[in-house]
Amino acid sequence: MELLTTNNVWMMICTALVFFMHLGFAFLEIGLTRQKNTINILFKNIFIITVGLLLYCLVGFNLMYPGDFNGFLGFAGFGLDSPLTDAGALDLAYNEGYTYWTDFLFQGMFAATAATIVSGAVAERIKIGPFMLFTVLYVGLIYPIAGSWKWGGGFLQTLETPFYDFAGSTLVHSVGGWAAVVAVCLLGSRIGKFKDGKLQAIPGHNISMATAGVLILWLGWFGFNGGSVLSADPELTSLTLVTTCLAAAAGGVVAALVSTLRYKNLDLTMFLNGILGGLVGITAGADQMSPTDAIIIGAVAGAIIVFAVSLIDRLKLDDPVGAIAVHLACGIWGTLAVGIFGNLASGAQFVSQLIGVASYAAICIVSSFIILFVLKKTVGIRVSEKEELEGLDAHEHGMDAYPDFRLNEH
């Protein structure tokens, strides 16, 4: 009982840290975008976490963890009152690491993250209604079905050499990243981003807030990766936090260095996204890596950030916060790195990692395209030119994030 209590308390702390990450995402997104769209971005982020938790309770948890399952789709029933909870003692006998209820809440915090990644990539020009509907379908159905393929015991877990993703480089970050690519392609770039085929910078309005967001996300990753140990095992949780931090540090430093060499300026946003890239990169194998492995993985992720951002710009895709470079490109790298570094490194493991990456690319690209294409052809997904130029806060919310207060003059 004492072990269960200790493990469960640690898991609840990690759940709180992952929840805190949503504040980090919100700060990062509003900091890297323009003032006139602040309310819109905050509204989307609040919608994602609130509706995401409700959907995960109603259908997502039992889609993702359907019980006896080794295929592509399973379902244990609606709500949390599934057959698993019939036994009165289940809450104590559920798992040696944590209770049933803690498991639901911890996994539910992960579920909402996928749509948050998309939110940043489509910022400043997507209609709020269609985005909300996309969130309902993607978080409520696609994410848990895809997650069941590995974490729910599905076909990727039953490969001869099982696909490995410790905390979600692919299952969370790439799931959001693939949808972000599709959404950005269907949506088009912001007005003024490309003039006569040339890239034009659209600076964010509060880089201080973006910096705070990244530091909050780094802190939250202690729960994201540390909680994925699924117990308070002293050695494994400590190692996981060490590899997580070292990869983040290496990612930031290398991104800043490569960016400076390439563009001849000290770009803080590249530094920040390099930290996030290192965190995403280590997430797939944080429990399997040595400190040196973690530094290498983070360093490569930091370099990937710089070149991925450049490639996205050359393709004339408009991603205001760098979500595709961070979550997709570094998510793929981190997933493949499990087959190259650490305790699981082998040719067979690398092939399994490739199969996993390809499987998630297929379901995410196809499903997000169907959802967004139907929305585009029916209700439309992009705001009008006038709304975009004047700001979504005024037109979609009737509010100003920074109202101009003045003292009455007498």
Task: Express each pLDDT in 232-279 by its tens digit.
Answer: 999 999 999 999 999 999 999 999 999 999 999 999 999 999 999 999
Q: pLDDT tens digits for 86-141? A: 444 444 445 667 888 899 999 999 888 888 999 999 999 999 999 999 999 999 99
Instruction: Please answer whether residues 338 and 344 qualify as being in contact, where contact means their C-beta atoms are separated by less than 8 angstroms.
Output: yes
Q: How far apart are CA 39 and CA 20, in angstroms?
A: 19
The whole-number average pLDDT for the span 328-352 is 97
CB atoms within 10 A of CB 46: 12
Q: What percent of the chain has pLDDT over 70?
A: 94
Token pair, residue 238, equals 């400590």
* Domain locations along the chain: 2-397
Q: Does domain 2-397 have CATH number 1.10.8.60?
A: no
Higher pLDDT, 225 or 100: 225
- Check pLDDT > 50 for residue 407: no
Q: How far apart are CA 266 and CA 259, in angstroms?
A: 7
Instruction: Please answer whether residues 76 and 67 qualify as being in contact, where contact means their C-beta atoms are separated by less than 8 angstroms.
Output: yes
Which pLDDT band, with edges at 50, 70 and 90, does 186 fall under? very high
Q: pLDDT tens digits for 266-325? A: 999 999 999 999 999 999 999 999 999 999 999 999 999 999 999 999 999 999 999 999
Cβ burial 355-379 (10 Å sphere, 16+ → b, else e): ebbebbbebbeebbbebbeebeeee
Q: pLDDT tens digits for 150-178? A: 999 999 999 999 999 999 999 999 999 99
Q: pLDDT tens digits for 38-76? A: 999 999 999 999 999 999 999 999 999 987 777 788 887
